Chain A
Amino acid sequence: MAGSAGEALLRIEEATKSFSLRQRGWRRQHVVALDGVSMTLRRGETVGLVGESGSGKSTLGRCVLNLLRLDGGRILYRGREIQALSEREWRPLRRRLQMVFQNPVSSFNPMMTIEEALLDALRQVPELDDSRRRQRVGELLEQVQLGARFAVLYPYEMSGGQLQRAAIARALAPEPDFIFLDEPTANLDMSIRGQIINLLLDLQQQEGGPGFVFVTHDLRVLRYVADRIYVITQGHIVESGSRDQIFHAPRHPWTRALLEAASIGRRERRRDAGSGVDAGISLESSARGGCRLLARCPHARERCAREPQVLREIEPGQYVRCWRAEEID
């Protein structure tokens, strides 16, 4: 990937995480949420992470924020391992790494006003005194285009879009280096989505602003906000590259399928005219040892069942987990 490793703000190496479901019969069932995911985020950059629901996107965020523990792999923040830290050791990092949750309504304490919620987040900024903190609440609300009048409202008195802005204000409060946006637009109306996206674009313009990981299942959203994009399915990154590479020269069948799914209805393109994988449903990991998308891929060859696929660089900065990437067109 372009740029030296030293510039990386956040670096995820070979992250794995699985959840064990309730015991069924004799054996415990495991669901693999992350399987060897690696990712890099540079300072001030916005990285898009796209995948269907259940593909491990949110799990990754929760692991980065130390809300969950990885089973294996490393997470480096400014070159320092932050994965195995205890809650106490982690506390100083909370300021630096923030998160916006998918559901704005449930991510606010129903017993606290917006001002109280923001002050709660500002408590970890020791250099501010009380009056300065109150002033900062006003500034933050201004920054996310909510008036100061929202400060006194309780979450149930606000709409989803307003709450999502408040959630972004809360994430910005301690002036973090990094904000993980976990499907910030998924629960919002189309018109409100646009406002949130515009707000993000404003935030990206700011000098010294935070880097973002923007998680979504809707590839279209990333066209406007992402510098680079990772495509994930079944806990695997299948393709990564710059925004232009992903949108204009996608190489992996899955990415193509996602792009096609996103454009159906808009351009009236017929689904069976496409060349991609059926993007609708996530599948059982069928092929042990082979490509995980084997059962759904129209380009599958006998070799796909034998060899596990690895990420390889086929253009500068573009990585694809498919040996046939160059042949398919």
Chain B
Amino acid sequence: MSALAGGQTIPERPSLLQRMMRINGALRVRLNLGLLALIVLLGLLAPLLPLHDPVRPNPLHRFKPPSTEHPFGTDGNGMDVLSRTIHAIRTDFALAISSVALGIIVGAPLGALSGYFGGRLDSVITRITEVFQGFPQILFGMAVLAAAGNTMVNLVLILAFYNVPVYSKMVRSVTLPLREADFVQAARVAGNSPLSVVFRHVLPNTLVPVFSQLPLSCAYAAQMIAGLSFIGLGVAIPTPEWGSMIQLGANQLVFGKWWASIFPGLALFISVWLLNNVSDLFGSLVVRRG
């Protein structure tokens, strides 16, 4: 540190280590996004890859350990675990993304309307979403799937149902200060109807936090899907899905046949971990830009 005549100090240059850490910030974003993209790509290309049929059982090859023929081994139905783990990306990601998207499509406009108009509309929307959130999630999911049928559509609807209040509350809280913003007043002066103010001017400006929350919701939804499938609800057995695969191999773990559960478990763990990381990084990027 060198002192100047006036007693001011010139800030020190960041050390090499500090600079490396800073580069690592950008690197971490790319790394996480890259790996996530790789997983999604793998899922998209799954039918084109030289893999075994993920849903073809083979009674003669049950619980075979990993080999060159079956790198991840086979499960209790003699199906190839590698092929199923990769094909399950399609199931889990599609369900997670569609349920979160549905939650945003319904929740974000509700939140913007309730935040902008306030008053009775706000009370009604807020109360309803609070009731939504009051249900114990897994229990409610189990009840609905048991009653309304164990279909993927129902699964998506249940998960969307959880996401609606998350996004309506988030958008509402961002909308409240925007209501008095100059550009919103200017939009009124420019002749926008109240609805047009909400949908053309307010809503688009609430989407930054929504997008940083999105990967987190997807991770949560993936966990929920796997969790419900694990207990036999949600996605039924022949369809490749991580939760049901883990369940299928779980009771063989104690006999040392670890591969049927561990590989889908790892896939789920890595996906959720990457999604969480990406969400965190989005958040910090948004904060840094102010």
Using a CB–CB cutoff of 8 Å, the interface residues on chain A facing chain B are: 62, 65, 67, 87, 91, 94-95, 98-99, 101-103, 106-111, 117, 120-121, 123-124, 167, 170-171, 173-174
Contact = CB atoms under 8 A, between A and B. Distances in A.
A95 B185 CA distance: 15
A212 B239 CA distance: 70
A110 B182 contact: no
B178 to A, nearest CB: 10
B187 interface: yes
B53 to A, nearest CB: 47
Contacts of A121: 190-191
Contact of A124 (B183, B191, B201, B204): B191
B90 to A, nearest CB: 33
A120 B192 contact: yes
A102 B185 CA distance: 12
Interface string B193-232: 1100000110011000000000000000000000000000
Contacts of A123: 191-192
Contacts of B193: 91
B200 A120 contact: yes
B190 A170 contact: yes
Contacts of B146: none
B16 interface: no
Contacts of B201: 109
Contacts of A102: 182
A120 B193 CA distance: 11
Given A87-B194, A109-B205, A110-B205, A103 B189 contact: no
A107 B190 contact: no
A170 B188 CA distance: 12
Contacts of B191: 91, 94-95, 121, 123-124, 174
B186 interface: yes
A65 B186 CA distance: 10
A107 B200 contact: no
B99 to A, nearest CB: 26
Contacts of B192: 120, 123
Given A67-B189, A108-B186, A123-B192, 5 more contacts: A67-B185, A99-B189, A109-B201, A110-B183, A171-B189
Given A87-B194, A111-B204, A106 B189 contact: no
Contacts of B138: none
Contact of B189 (A98, A108, A110, A111): A98
B182 A103 contact: yes
Q: Which of B182, B185, B205 is the most central at the interface, judged by chain A CB atoms within 10 Å of its CB?
A: B182
Interface in B151-190: 181-183, 185-190
A120 B189 CA distance: 11
A103 B191 CA distance: 20
Contacts of A171: 189
A65 B189 contact: yes
Contacts of A167: 186
A62 B191 CA distance: 15
Which residue among B183, B187, B193, B194 has the maximum number of chain A CB atoms within 10 Å of its CB? Answer: B183
Contact of A94 (B181, B185, B189, B200): B189
A120 B183 contact: no
A98 B183 CA distance: 14
Contacts of A65: 189
A111 B186 CA distance: 14
Contacts of A117: 190
Contacts of B185: 62, 67, 101, 107
B234 to A, nearest CB: 38
Contact of A107 (B186, B194, B205): B186
Contacts of B200: 120
Contact of B187 (A106, A109, A110): A109
A110 B208 CA distance: 12
A235 to B, nearest CB: 21
A233 to B, nearest CB: 25
A274 B183 CA distance: 42
25 contacts: A67-B185, A67-B188, A67-B189, A94-B188, A94-B190, A95-B191, A99-B189, A101-B182, A101-B185, A101-B186, A106-B181, A106-B182, A107-B185, A107-B186, A108-B183, A108-B186, A109-B186, A110-B183, A110-B205, A121-B190, A121-B191, A123-B192, A167-B186, A170-B186, A173-B190
